[in-house]
Amino acid sequence: MSNRTLSPPQTDASKQVTINLGERSYDIWIAEYCDAHWGSLLTLPTGSAALIVTNEVVGPLYADQLGRQLSQIYPAVHTLFLPDGEEFKDWRTLELIYNTLLSHGCDRKTVLYALGGGVVGDMTGFAAATYMRGVRFVQVPTTLLAQVDSSVGGKTAINHPLGKNMIGSFHQPQLVVCDLSTLATLPLRELRSGLAEVLKYGPIASMEFMEWLEVSVEKVLAYDLVALSHCVRRSCEIKAWVVSQDEREGGVRAILNFGHTFGHAIEAGVGYGVWLHGEGIAAGMVMAAELSQRLGMVDDAFVDRLTRLIKRAGLPTKGPILDATDNAGRYLELMRVDKKSDAGEIRFVLIDGPGTAVLRTAPDKLVREVIDACCA
């Protein structure tokens, strides 16, 4: 299928990272596209129609602007506003996307545009993976979390009441466009949540990035564009490096789930949308680091250092109590449905010395001790 370039990139601020996956390779563009020329700066996939999938918060801010750009390229451009929130990342909301595609007679050459955070991105990606057995899609992430993580790498999913992201598929986008100017409207709590996914990249892959964050975290929280640009670019580079080695999480890609085994249990345990994804991951990273320390893989000083950084980011360092009578038991129950579990055995991403992560099991007794120590 052909692509059309309207004109070459015009901004020096633009940064490009490539995900190398053979014929599924694609670029991540990182820039401040606040001018009206958004679509003209990039090579967008051509097609018979475009469907912008957004939500009722992001849509009113950015959908018109994107729609105007896309109408220069596609014969028809439709827009769908989904309800906003993690609690709507489910079958019922997904069906709204299929309904819209079918009612407009959209064919296999339709291109979906996911305009929003990770919730919109994951659902649009899953709809693209499954509509007519697969159509193309472009990620236009508008949260820090989506720009540094969820829009990149092709994981798509919806939640099930019994487990987070349990129904989904791998489906790579054609392109990711991180428009840094959209972060200006992102609430601070959401920025902090995204920062949790940024913070994970240091302990698992790059101590140099962790050191940069130790110097720069306040600048990121102040929406400093230079700091945000570095954050997004470095995170995407690390994620691209991991995903290019292991697209379908047969091995090394699992390290990107540092903090997620505990974090997903928190999200499901308190009810989707009560704790933000990044908040669960933040407390989960402290628990995973603590477990690593108790297994003799890192020292106390490293756990303290990571905990301090998470605290400075304004993120929780303790998990919630999920069950007043057997809190650790409830966490264990929720963690057993984790996708990394193997024959009912929970596998954790643990820090094997600063800057290196591994996937391994741990005795329940030790995990219980960690949960008891890390929940309040």
Distances (CA, A) of 225 to 58, 139, 304: 20, 21, 29
- How many other C-beta atoms lie within 10 A of the C-beta of residue 119? 28
Provide, rounded to whole angstroms, the least separation between the CB of residue 25 and ligand NAD.
18
Q: Which residues pair with 115 in a beta bridge?
A: 140
Q: At what angle do helices 118-130 and 91-103 cross, to 10 degrees?
A: 60
Residue 149 DSSP code: I
Binding string to ligand GLY for residues 293 to 322, with x set by CB under 6 A, is what? ------------------------------
Residue 81 DSSP code: E
Binding string to ligand NAD for residues 152 to 181, with x set by CB under 6 A, is what? -x-x---------x----------------
Task: Please report, to the nearest 10 degrees, the dihedral formed by the alpha carbons of residues 176, 68, 10, 26 taken in order.
Answer: 20
Chain residue at closest Cβ approach to ligand GLY: 256
Site for ligand GLY in 216-255 (CB under 6 A): 253
Buried b (16+ CB within 10 A) or exposed e, 279-293: bbbbbbbbbbbbbbb
Q: Which residues pair with 342 in a beta bridge?
A: 345
Among 65, 69, 174, 182, binds ligand NAD (CB under 6 A): 182
Sheet holding 26-31, edge to edge: 15-19, 26-31, 175-179, 136-141, 110-116, 49-55, 77-82
Instruction: Kindly indicate which of the ranges 110-118, 223-231, 331-339, 360-368 contains the residues binding ligand NAD, using the contact rule CB under 6 A.
Output: 110-118
Q: At what angle do helices 277-294 and 364-374 cross, to 10 degrees?
A: 120
For ligand NAD, which is the closer residue by CB, 81 or 98? 81
Binding string to ligand NAD for residues 128 to 147, with x set by CB under 6 A, is what? --------------xx-xx-
Binding string to ligand NAD for residues 228 to 267, with x set by CB under 6 A, is what? ----------------------------------------
Provide, rounded to whole angstroms, the least separation between the CB of residue 216 and ligand NAD.
21
Site for ligand GLY in 69-128 (CB under 6 A): none
Residues known to be catalytic: 133, 155, 197, 239, 249, 253, 257, 260, 264, 277
Q: Verify binding: residue 277, ligand GLY, rule CB under 6 A.
A: no
For ligand NAD, which is the closer residue by CB, 40 or 143? 143
Residues 6+ apart with CB under 8 A from 26: 18, 19, 172, 173, 174, 175, 176
For ligand NAD, which is the closer residue by CB, 123 or 298? 123
For ligand GLY, which is the closer residue by CB, 257 or 292? 257
Binding region for ligand GLY (CB under 6 A): 149, 153, 155, 253, 256-257
